[in-house]
Structure 1
Amino acid sequence: MKYLLKQLVLSNYSWLCAGLLFCQGGLSENIVRFAASEQEPYIGQNLLNNGYVAELVKEVYSLSGYQTDIKFYPLARAKELAKQGKVDGLLPFYHQKITSNVFELSNPFPGSSIGLIKKKSLQIGSFSDLKDRSWHKLVFTDKYKFGAVRGTEDILSNYSEAQTLKLDLVSSDIQNIDKLIANRIDFAVIDKYTAADLLINKRPHFIGKLEFMPPPLLQSNFYVAFSTKSENFKKNIKIFNKGLKVATGNGILTKIMLKHGLMSEAANDTSKQKLTIGTVNNNDMILMKGLSKHFEAMHPNITLEWRILDEDILRKRLMGDLAIADGQFDIMTIGTYETPIWAKRNWLTPLHSFPKEYDIDDIIENVKKSLSYQDIVYALPFYAESSVTYYRTDLLKKINIKMPLQPTYDEIKQIAAEIHNPTEQTYGICLRGKAGWGGNMALLSTMVNTYNGQWFNTKWMPTLDTAPWHEAVSMYKNLIINYGPPEPINNNFVENLSLFANGQCGIWIDATVAAGLLFNPKYSKVYDKFGIANAPVAKTSKGANWLWSWALAIPASSHKKEAAFKFITWATSKDYIKLAAQQEGWVSVPPGTRKSTYQHKDYLQAAPFATFVFNAIQSADPHEPTLTPSPYIGIQYVGIPEFPAIGHQISLKLVEVLKGRISIEQFLKESQDIAKQQMQHSGYILHE
């Protein structure tokens, strides 16, 4: 996506300079500085590219050859810096009217969707149940009590005919979430995406208990507030407004919002039945979108709307959809973690009555089992994977070293040190460094397993402050900092795949699904000079290689289940695998799902790594992930609803370790506290 945006910028740059006449000076000479405050999921230090607002502002100024410097502060501090003219502006700003001449606002751009959230048990389905004489004027009787963050209470008064409102004002949205659950208020005024993210990251044990009432009361715009005390504020605001107009007109604004999962891409033909599909931005899924034209040709009454997102954003948007009962998706790309948990809570549609030609028994048994609950299948695997060690055979040959079939982490470190050559942009090792429970924590969890560690003991007490965790984190940091590429905290599966395929990684420990791409000369520069070994071990091989599947499921909230079932059975069928082979070659077919794929002579000939990958998938046992007995299922994750919240917060702490801001000891202590607090909130362990 970033590449596409840059191409749009470059292709329009000459026209912009000629037509808008605001491309003065070199890029390095023009820097606009902003103070920003956190407002997840719209803007934040830990979001992809600092979030939609920050990315939009950067892209808008880049159109005119300007750079932006955005630094984050508490809201009061950010406002004060802007008021004093120590920065050029403040973002984001929420209100159109300002009461002083300190700020001048930019033109508006899309902001938050503010409305009411309530408990599902409160039997009010929509605003129509509260409506009086018009859509915009609602009647809120004394029967109901409303929670609002101070400063937002005017939203209710603007949309209500009630003479008085029973208001409970608080200082934060999370307080209102807690009060809703405790029945201390009936409704809370909140932004839709903020509510979803708070439930996912802070109150996962409340997911499924609340719902956001459609439609939002208010679509609130964002603005950039430019400081009138800044020397160049008139020029800065003029450049921004012109650039915003261009970004709106050429689709950059829409692309950025879609990239962050903050809006839908409307289908063109409203006469057809539309299926909205949320999926991850991996190569196999992008290929699925490309080949889906064949499905649409077979089903002319169905049209597909695709939301292809970064892995971390996808997980938030899908779980957020469930958290507030938003019902945006008809098909969700989920994994072995989500499927049994969501199925148990009746969030997914059980799958049965498969066409005979689908051959459900052809799916690899432990993959099918991981996507089932009580022996009923709830998701169909698009591809499945374990984890392995990729390495450059040519680099190892130069130093006369052979990679063991079963390497240890100590051996990996020794080899990475030997082949590390940053001056040639060849790095000893590439590892996941980007925050996320499915990002940096997925790899670290397998490392902890091999050092004979675990997330929780059999009494559900966290064990992050133990020696195995310290050893694993120390090795992880040593490898990624001393022998990895620059800025490793930006790299996840997709980024490291690109680096390895481009010849910039000597070793890469990650998913088996990459093998087909790395062996494909159309994609990979190292297709003829890389090898595969088992995932590394330390003190034990138990839990060294994970088991994962990206699978297609139908949420229970979908009203188009029949059409969705047709699509997911098509996309995971033997016929789809044959179609992918015809279009892209057998080496590129989705791996790890069907036994028949690994029996096909054309696949075995095209993919010499096939048997190795098949054995890695077969050997992974998520039901016994650690050497010391554990109470949970999952190798690179913990199969409980609270894990995304715990893993997400700890993944951010791990990034702080890589940045050198906190020590490993501090990381382990704070992570132990995070996990323990969440487990106490959720009732797994008692408060001490």
Structure 2
Amino acid sequence: MKRAGLRGALLAVVMLTSTACAGWGGGGGGDGGADSINVLMVNNPQMVDLQRLTAENFTAETGITVNFTVLPENDVRDKISQEFSSQAGQYDVASLSNFEIPIYARSGWIAPLSPHIDADPDFDQADILGPMTESLTGDDGQIYGEPFYGESSFLMYRKDVLEAAGVAMPANPTWQQVAEIAARVDGAEPGMSGICLRGQPGWGQVFAPLTTVVNTFGGTWFTEDWQAQVNAPEFREAVQFYVDLVREYGETGASQAGFTECLNNLIQGNSAMWYDATSAAGSLEAADSPVRGKIGYAPAPVVETDSAGWLYAWSWGIQAASTRQDAAWEFISWASSKEYEQLVGEQVGWSDVPAGKRASTYENPEYLAEAGAFAEQTKAAIEAADPRNPGVQPRPALGIQFVGIPEFPDLGTQVSQSVSSAIAGLVTVDEALDRGQELAEDVAERYRSRLEEGES
């Protein structure tokens, strides 16, 4: 869900072409010694910065050597799952999202961080934004992950295009208002669509924004007692609205458009609006961006809820089987610290700071000088996110743009394929969601059975 921008795409190409699966600049994990830890992490740009800065800063200070294994997102998720489920102990630390961490905590695959946090007041847990801490907390109330960087979602729009069309963006827009604006600015400039929305299949592609639309329309994947709701009226209304909006006023090739395609569309002047990750703003406001200074930022559009932004964080977890947990915590507490953000700002650039996790970041004048156009809106979006209550009814699992259960990636991806087909005009929304309901019922039945077994 955290999507690399233009810089990230270039780094990914360099890493994949120069080092294959070992990761850019680092080999695989090894046994090491007492003063050595093995870290398995995703190849996103901020992580690559971390890898570059570790030896001359963290290791020089602590004497702890860090052996990195760096892989693309899909590959690293598979490897982490295999490693942590087997408790092989080869890797001490891994980059995990707020989707995996509560699940891994429930399975006993990762160690609680609360004892380390309590013994390390310099880390300043209170400075971590509340929703981030909440999303990384287990059922037992202990914290199991620390965010490296985080994001929510908001609406990005061309201020100059709306102004020329005589349109004012509401301070807190509804989806109906966004649809009206999209109709007004569609074709405002040659080749410009009114809006860009993800349509590419994938639980982390089309369903990242679409599930937030479902939430605010009053829908949910499952009720609190595990009744599937994929073809319920509220879910159906939300998906029909989304499909109609992107088909009527959206980008060309919408059924295959993801984060990167929409980012490029906005940068290149091919779309007037875009609802997506707050992390995109850094690319839009980059020094070489042709739309720098032209973009406005509004909260995620709503219907029945007060807020609707998602919540995502690449975070750190310690494998329960690790025999070097104290050293692992030293690394995590450095990588997620205020001091590390300052280091990145000074040595890499303030636009590259792994933000979205600490309140103090949004009080730092050096960061605000670079990110002032979107910093306040990003912080507000993250603070408004509620991973336990993102809709109008109680939920059975943690998560806003996902359902925090192991089955969701497969379920969400299968349903997304049908939704993408509806965007392409190959099936109706009703057909897509009726098929999705069958898939969701299979998942729900398993959880209802477990509840009944627990009660008997």
- TM-fit CA distance, 1:398: 2.1
1:553-599 Cα deviation digits (max 9, x unpaired) = 12224454344323221111111111122134434422221222223
**Partner residue, 1:525:** 290
User: Shift in Å at residue 629 of structure 1?
Assistant: 3.5
Among 273, 279, 285, the residue aligned to 1:507: 273
**What is the match of residue 485 of structure 1?**
251
Aligned match of 1:349 in 101, 111, 117?
111
Match of 1:376, SS? Answer: coil
Q: State how far apart, in whole Å, the 2-side matches of 1:459 and 1:285 are.
A: 39
Instruction: Return the offset for 1:615.
Output: 2.1
2:338 to 566, 574, 578: 574
Question: In 1, are the aligned partners of 2:87 and 2:320 still within 8 Å (CA)?
Answer: no
Deviation at 1:278? 1.9
Cα distance in 2 for residues equivalent to 1:510 and 1:537? 14
Aligned pair partner of 2:127 in 343, 362, 382 = 362
2:297 is paired with a residue whose SS is strand
User: What residue is the counterpart of 1:630 in the other structure?
Assistant: 395
**Partner Cα separation in structure 2 for residue 338 and residue 268 of structure 1:** 24
Q: Which has the higher helix share?
A: 2
The alignment of Structure 1 onto Structure 2 pairs a total of residues equal to 437
Partner of 1:552: 316
* Per-residue deviation, 1:541: 2.3
Partner of 1:672: 437
TM superposition outliers: structure 1 runs of 4+ over 6 Å: 4-8, 267-272
Distance 1:296 1:497 in 2: 37
Cα distance, 1:333 vs. partner?
1.9
C-alpha contact 2:29 2:40 (8 A) present in aligned 1 = no
Q: How does 1:544-623 map to 2 (within 5 A)?
A: 544-608=308-372, 609-623=374-388
Secondary structure, aligned partner of 2:389: coil
Aligned to 2:234: 468
Specify the alignment match of 1:388 in structure 2: 154
3-state SS of 1:640 partner: coil
> Are the counterparts in 1 of residues 22 and 69 from structure 2 also a CA contact under 8 Å?
no
Instruction: Calculate percent identity across the aligned residue pairs.
Output: 33
Q: Give the 3 Å change call, closer, same or farther, for CA 315–404 of structure 1 in structure 2.
A: farther
* Equivalent of residue 99 in structure 2, options 337, 347, 351: 337
3-state SS in 2 of match to 1:596 = helix
| Distance apart, 1:674 and its partner CA | 0.2
- Counterpart for residue 211 of structure 2: 445
Deviation, structure 1 residue 633: 2.9
Counterpart secondary structure, 1:377:
coil
Would the aligned equivalents of 1:387 and 1:512 in 2 still touch at CA under 8 Å?
yes
Q: 1:449 touches 1:542 (CA, 8 Å); kept in 2?
A: no
In 2, Cα distance between equivalents of 1:499 and 1:285:
26
- Give the 3-state SS of the residue equivalent to 1:397 in structure 2: helix
What amino acid is the match of 1:578? Q
Letter aligned with residue 270 of structure 2: Q
**3-state SS of the aligned residue for 2:226?**
coil
- Secondary structure at 1:444's aligned position in 2? helix
For the residue of structure 2 that corresponds to 1:341, the secondary structure is: helix
Contact 2:40 2:76 in 1 (8 A): no
Q: Give the letter for the 1:347 counterpart.
A: W
Aligned partner of residue 201 in structure 2, secondary structure: coil
Distance 2:248 2:396 in 1: 35
* CA offset digits 1:164-210 (Å, max 9, x no partner): xxxxxxxxxxxxxxxxxxxxxxxxxxxxxxxxxxxxxxxxxxxxxxx
- Cα–Cα, structure 1 residues 497 and 555, in superposed 2: closer, same or farther, change >3 Å? farther
Kindly tell me: are residues 267 and 458 of structure 1, through their superposed partners in 2, closer, same or farther at Cα, counting changes over 3 Å?
Answer: closer
For 1:50-61, list aligned pairs within 5 A: none
- For 2:319, the aligned partner's letter is P
When the two chains are superposed, the root-mean-square deviation of aligned CA atoms in Å is 3.4
Which amino acid in the other structure matches residue 625 of structure 1?
P
Letter of the 2:38 partner, please give it.
Answer: L
Q: Name 1:415's counterpart in structure 2.
A: 181
**Which secondary structure state, in structure 2, belongs to the residue aligned with residue 407 of structure 1?**
coil
- TM-score with structure 1 length normalisation? 0.57
Task: Give the Å deviation of 1:275.
Answer: 1.9
**1:285 to 1:499, Cα distance in 2 relative to 1, 3 A:** farther
TM-score, length of structure 2 as denominator length: 0.84
Structure 2: 5+ residue stretches without partners: 1-7
Change (3 A) 1:599 1:5: closer
Distance in 2 of aligned mates of 1:466 and 1:550:
32
Could you list the per-position Cα deviations for residues 398-443 of structure 1 after superposition, in whole angstroms to 9, with x for gaps in the alignment? 2121111122222222322333349945333222223222221121
| Partner Cα separation in structure 2 for residue 512 and residue 521 of structure 1 | 18
Tell me the CA shift for residue 298 of structure 1: 4.1
Q: CA offset at residue 309 of structure 1?
A: 1.6
SS in 1 for 2:392: coil
Contact between 1:340 and 1:372, CA under 8 Å: does it hold in 2? yes
Q: CA deviation at 1:661?
A: 3.0
Post-superposition offset of 1:660: 3.0
CA spacing shift, 1:551–1:267, aligned 2, 3 Å: closer
Shift of the alpha carbon at 1:663? 1.8
Aligned to 1:111: none
Question: In the alignment, which residue of structure 2 is the partner of 1:233?
Answer: none
Equivalent position amino acid for 1:394 in 2: D
Instruction: Give the C-alpha shift of residue 514 in structure 1.
Output: 2.6
Does the alignment pair 1:541 with 2:320? no
The verdict on how the C-alpha distance between 1:275 and 1:629 changes in structure 2, with shifts beyond 3 A counting, is: closer
Equivalent-residue separation in structure 1 for 2:30 and 2:76 (angstroms): 23
Deviation at 1:288? 3.0
Match of 2:42 in 1: 279
Counting only pairs closer than 5 Å after superposition, residues 658-669 of structure 1 correspond to structure 2 as: 658-669=423-434
User: Per residue, is there more strand in 1 or in 2?
Assistant: 1
Closer/same/farther in 2, CA of residues 4 and 456 from structure 1, 3 Å limit: closer
Query: Aligned partners of 1:481 and 1:391: how far apart in 2?
Result: 19
Partner residue in 1 for 2:192: 426
Instruction: Give 1:601 deviation, angstroms.
Output: 3.2
Look up the SS of the partner of 1:372 in the other structure. coil
Q: The residue matched to 1:551 in structure 2 has which SS?
A: strand
Q: Which amino acid aligns with 1:473?
A: V
